[in-house]
Amino acid sequence: MLEKYCKGLIDLSNHEAIGFIDSGVGGLTVVKEALRQLPNERLIYLGDTARCPYGPRPAEQVVQFTWEMTNFLLKKNIKMLVIACNTATAVALEEIKEQLNIPVVGVILPGTRAALKATKKNRIGVIGTAGTIKSNAYEKALKSKAPNTFTTSLACPKFVPIVESNEFYSSVAKKIVSETLAPLQIKELDTLILGCTHYPLLRPLIQNVMGNQVKLIDSGAETVSEVSMLLDYFDIANTPLHDNEQHEFFTTGSAKMFKAIADDWLNLETIEIEHIRLGEVKHD
């Protein structure tokens, strides 16, 4: 069990935080679920907004950026790492979990499990960034668990910039979503995996285009269930949060834009966002 999640295990304190990383605000969709399912846990989030999107970048660069985010959070003594980004999970999860001494969880396997649980006709679509779709990670995972499943994938490179610019309620967003997803409308899918953590913010628009007969899968809920199971398994769950145990949010981009989206999405009473720089620390 242990080696499925990390190289080994340091002596972990139950009071340390769970770390979440993403290329920008997308991982907040996973954090939202963590706040709901794990109210006793302290969370630390880092979004690399300054270098978002990761989707069109070469895999080696995404691996390097993911290490930089990971190293930043390791300095905060996190007890578990959630790679709340499909693009980073697809190319960096294996390498990172092989080298860390804390459990590391990605979002692709949980998304796959949730889709297989939901489908009735075994016709599953996957939408994601260019990097995730190119990696074939979802199709491989779906086929390995259920070989008879029909799968089809579509890269949606215009979706992440809409979300990062906080324009997901605009008419432009509606038009882009509808044009991009048109090829999927004829595939007779009953399940569609939102294979990018930014996409749940576009959920109403995507649902509208795909129709109510298509079940949309957001891997956040299933990912957090896995985190919850691991907290129990490794006996590192926190006791109720103390007043001095605050969630922390960091971005490499505009703290103002990040706060606007986080306030709207998370409904937390107060959120302080701190701007940080990445790129100087190299993993060796």
**What minimum distance in Å lies between the beta carbon of 4 and ligand DGL?**
21
Binding residue for ligand DGL, selected from 20, 54, 72, 234, defined by CB under 6 A: 54
87, 112, 191, 251: which one binds ligand DGL (CB under 6 A): 87
262, 22 contact by CB (below 8 A): no
Q: Is residue 86 annotated as involved in ligand binding?
A: yes
In the chain, the DSSP E strands lie at: 18-22, 43-47, 80-83, 104-105, 123-128, 150-155, 191-194, 215-218, 248-251, 273-275
Tell me, yes or no, if 52 is annotated catalytic: no
Of 58, 128, 59, 51, the closest CA to residue 94 belongs to 59
CB 252 within 8 A of CB 51: yes
Backbone angles phi, psi at 218, to 5 degrees: -110, 120
- Measured from the Cβ of residue 213, the count of other Cβ atoms closer than 10 Å reads 9
Q: Which stretch binds ligand DGL (CB under 6 A): 53-61, 116-124, 135-143, 172-180?
A: 53-61
What's the one-letter identity of residue 30? Answer: V
22, 33, 218, 226: residue in contact with ligand DGL (rule CB under 6 A): 22
Q: Of 6, 52, 156, 196, which one is the catalytic site residue? A: 196
Pick from 49, 86, 149, 252: which binds ligand DGL (CB under 6 A)?
86
196 is catalytic: yes
Q: Which structure tokens are listed for 96?
A: 């990172």
Q: Is 54 annotated as a binding residue?
A: yes
Whether 160 and 53 have beta carbons less than 8 Å apart is answered as yes
Which residues ranging from 164 to 223 are in contact with ligand DGL (CB under 6 A)?
196-198
270 annotated to a ligand binding site: no
Side-chain-side CA neighbours of residue 21 (13 Å): 30
Task: Candidates 18, 32, 45, 55: give the one binding ligand DGL (CB under 6 A).
Answer: 55
Annotated binding site for substrate: 22-23, 54-55, 86-87, 197-198
Residues near ligand DGL (CB under 6 A)? 22-24, 26, 52-55, 85-87, 129, 132, 160, 196-198
